[in-house]
C-alpha cells in the first residue's frame, strides 16, 4: 500500500480512538479485523505509528504549539480535520519513522496544506525536537518530553530520584511479547523448540523459570502449541507475583480477584496441580474464560467462585495463602496501553485506593493462623501500594510484614519490609507492587 493510503488509515484510526471511551488497543483490534485487505506490514506500520503518536502525544503537540506561535499564518494545520496529519508528520519526522529525504508524502501534504511548504516545516521540526525552547522546571520538561502528566512524573521522581527519566523511557517502549510455559505439560526448552518449529523464535526470561520472550508478535490462535495448552501469554512481572506468593502442593489457596485466571493457572502450575485453588471474581464471564483455559492447560485443582454467591463463613480461617491481586489504576502496564497516560487521574487513584483497602480487609479473614496474605497491583503509585498496606497493618494487629528469604534469594530480587516493586527500567517487566504478610 502506498504511503498516502497508509497515512489515511493512520488518521482514520486516530480519529476513532479520540472519539471513543474504549481502550485504544481494543479499538485497533476491531479496526484491523474489519480491514482484512491490510497486509501484515501495513498493519504494523499503522499500529506502530498510531500508538507512537499516543505515547508521545504531549511531546508532538508541544512542538506543534510552538511551531504555530512562530508561524501564525500556518494556522490551517491546526484545523481539527487536519490536526492528525500534522501530528503524524511531527511524530514521524521526530522519531525517524519516516525518512524526510525519501518518504515524506509531499504530494499529499501539498494537496492538504497548499500554503505550507513541507521542506521548511521539516527543517523547523528537526531544529526543535530537543525542546530546547522550553523554559520550565525539570518535572514539566520530562512530562512534555515523554508525554506524561506532571503529577505522575513527580510521583516517580520521589520514588526513584534521578532514575525517573529511565523509567519514563521504559514505560514509553512497547512491551515485550512474553509467554509462560505450562510446566505441568512440558519443560520450557521443549516448548521453545516446538515454537521454533512453528516459526516463533523465543528466548528465556531473565527471572521467571517458566517464561519465554518472543522475538516478534504472532497470532496466538494459530499456534498448535497454544491449542495444546503448552503456554499462556503472561508478562514476566505477573509471573513473579505467583513465584513470590510461593504456593505449596496440597495447600488451600484463594485467588481473591482472579479475573480470567492468569495467576490462578500459574499457582496451580507451581503446586503441581495438587491442593485447592479457589478463584473468586465478580464477573461470571471471566470465570467462564478461566474454566476454558484450565481445561486447555489440563489443570484440575481450580474451583470457580462467583463473588456474589460467596458465603464468607465457609472460608473464614481456611486458606494457607490468600492472593489479593487488586483492581488498580494499571499504570504499570502503560507500555501495553499508552492511552491510560491521560485516562488515569489523581482522583481515580484515590478511588482505587479506597476500593483496595476494602478488598484487602474483606479477604484477610480467609487466612488461617500462620497463613500468608499477598497483596499485589500492577500500579506504581504509592497511594495504591505502600499506603494501602500500611493502613491495613495498622488496623490488623494480627498480621505482620513477612519477608521470605527463599523468594528473594532464589530469584535475585530485593525484598524490603515484606515489599517488592518491579520497575520496567530495572526488571524489564510491567510495573508491579507485591506485599507479603503473615497472620501471626
Q: Where are the domains of the chain?
A: 3-135, 177-233, 236-439
Q: Give me the CATH code for the 236-439 domain, please.
A: 3.40.50.150
pLDDT at 101: 45
Higher pLDDT, 2 or 154: 154
pLDDT at 406: 66
Say if residue 405's pLDDT is above 70. Answer: no
In this structure, of 42-51, 80-89, 182-191, 261-270, the range with the lowest mean pLDDT score is 80-89
Say if residue 369's pLDDT is above 90. Answer: yes
Cell of 313: 463463613
Which pLDDT tens digit goes with each residue over 32-48? 999 989 988 899 889 88
Mean pLDDT of the chain: 91
Say if residue 99's pLDDT is above 60. Answer: no
**pLDDT band with cut points at 50, 70 and 90 for residue 143:** very high
pLDDT at 102: 42
- Describe the crossing of helices 80-95 and 118-128 by its angle, rounded to 10 degrees: 60
pLDDT at 104: 53
Distance between CA 186 and CA 195 in Å, rounded? 12
Average pLDDT of span 79-100 = 70
pLDDT at 407: 64
Helices (H), 365-423: 386-395, 405-411
Q: Which CATH architecture has domain 177-233?
A: 2-Layer Sandwich (3.30)
pLDDT at 195: 97
pLDDT at 353: 98
Sign of CA dihedral 385, 390, 391, 393: positive
In this structure, of 285-294, 348-357, 400-409, the range with the lowest mean pLDDT score is 400-409
Q: Do 376 and 434 meet the contact criterion of CB atoms below 8 Å apart?
A: yes
pLDDT at 2: 80
DSSP state of 420: E
Say if residue 343's pLDDT is above 50. Answer: yes
Distance between CA 40 and CA 46 in Å, rounded? 10
pLDDT at 316: 96
Helices (H), 271-384: 284-297, 340-343, 346-364
pLDDT at 241: 96
Q: Is 214 helix (H, G, I), strand (E, B) or coil?
A: strand
Which pLDDT tens digit goes with each residue over 120-138? 888 888 888 888 888 889 9
DSSP string, 39-94: -HHHHHHHHHHHHHHHHTHHHHHHHHHHHHHH-GGGGGGGSHHHHHHHHHHHHHHH
CA angle 312, 315, 317 (to 5 degrees): 115
Distance between CA 12 and CA 31 in Å, rounded? 9
Amino acid at each position: 500500500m502506498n504511503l498516502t493510503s497508509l497515512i489515511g488509515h493512520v488518521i482514520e484510526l486516530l480519529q476513532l480512538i479520540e472519539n471513543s471511551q474504549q481502550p485504544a488497543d481494543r479499538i485497533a483490534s476491531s479496526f484491523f479485523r474489519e480491514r482484512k485487505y491490510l497486509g501484515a506490514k501495513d498493519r504494523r506500520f499503522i499500529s506502530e505509528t498510531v500508538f507512537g503518536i499516543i505515547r508521545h502525544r504531549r511531546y508532538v503537540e508541544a512542538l506543534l504549539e510552538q511551531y504555530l506561535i512562530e508561524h501564525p499564518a500556518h494556522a490551517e494545520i491546526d484545523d481539527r480535520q487536519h490536526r492528525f496529519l500534522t501530528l503524524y508528520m511531527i511524530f514521524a519526522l521526530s522519531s525517524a519513522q519516516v525518512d524526510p529525504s525519501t518518504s515524506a508524502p509531499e504530494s499529499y501534504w501539498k494537496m492538504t496544506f497548499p500554503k505550507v511548504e513541507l521542506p521548511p516545516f521539516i527543517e523547523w521540526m528537526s531544529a526543535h525536537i530537543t525542546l530546547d525552547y522550553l523554559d520550565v522546571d525539570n518535572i514539566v520538561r520530562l512530562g512534555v518530553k515523554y508525554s506524561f502528566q506532571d503529577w505522575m512524573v513527580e510521583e516517580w521522581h520521589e520514588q526513584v530520584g534521578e532514575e525517573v527519566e529511565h523509567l519514563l523511557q521504559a514505560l514509553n517502549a512497547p512491551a515485550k511479547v512474553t509467554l509462560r510455559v505450562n510446566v505441568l505439560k512440558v519443560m520450557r526448552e521443549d516448548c521453545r523448540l516446538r515454537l521454533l518449529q512453528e516459526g516463533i523464535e523465543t528466548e528465556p526470561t531473565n527471572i521467571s523459570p517458566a517464561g519465554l520472550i518472543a522475538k516478534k508478535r504472532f497470532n496466538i490462535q494459530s499456534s498448535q502449541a497454544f491449542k495444546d495448552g503448552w503456554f499462556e501469554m503472561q508478562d514476566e512481572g505477573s509471573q513473579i507475583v505467583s513465584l513470590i506468593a510461593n504456593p505449596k502442593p496440597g495447600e488451600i489457596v484463594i485467588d481473591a480477584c482472579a479475573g480470567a485466571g492468569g495467576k490462578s493457572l500459574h499457582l496451580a502450575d507451581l503446586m503441581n496441580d495438587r491442593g485447592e485453588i479457589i478463584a473468586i471474581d465478580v464477573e461470571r464471564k471471566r470465570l467462564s474464560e478461566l474454566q476454558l483455559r484450565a481445561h486447555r492447560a489440563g489443570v484440575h485443582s481450580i474451583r470457580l467462585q462467583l463473588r456474589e454467591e460467596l458465603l464468607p463463613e465457609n472460608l473464614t480461617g481456611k486458606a494457607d495463602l490468600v492472593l489479593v491481586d487488586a483492581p488498580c489504576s494499571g499504570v504499570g502496564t502503560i507500555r501495553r496501553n499508552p492511552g491510560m497516560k491521560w485516562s488515569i487521574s489523581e482522583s481515580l487513584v484515590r478511588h482505587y485506593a479506597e476500593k483496595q483497602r476494602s478488598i484487602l480487609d474483606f479477604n484477610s479473614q480467609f487466612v488461617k493462623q500462620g497463613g500468608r496474605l499477598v497483596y499485589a497491583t500492577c500500579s506504581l503509585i504509592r497511594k495504591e501500594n505502600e499506603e494501602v498496606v500500611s493502613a491495613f497493618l495498622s488496623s490488623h494487629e494480627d498480621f505482620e510484614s513477612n519477608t521470605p528469604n527463599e523468594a528473594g534469594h532464589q530469584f535475585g530480587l530485593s525484598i524490603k519490609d515484606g515489599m517488592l516493586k518491579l520497575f520496567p527500567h530495572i526488571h524489564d517487566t510491567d510495573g508491579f507492587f507485591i506485599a507479603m504478610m503473615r497472620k501471626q
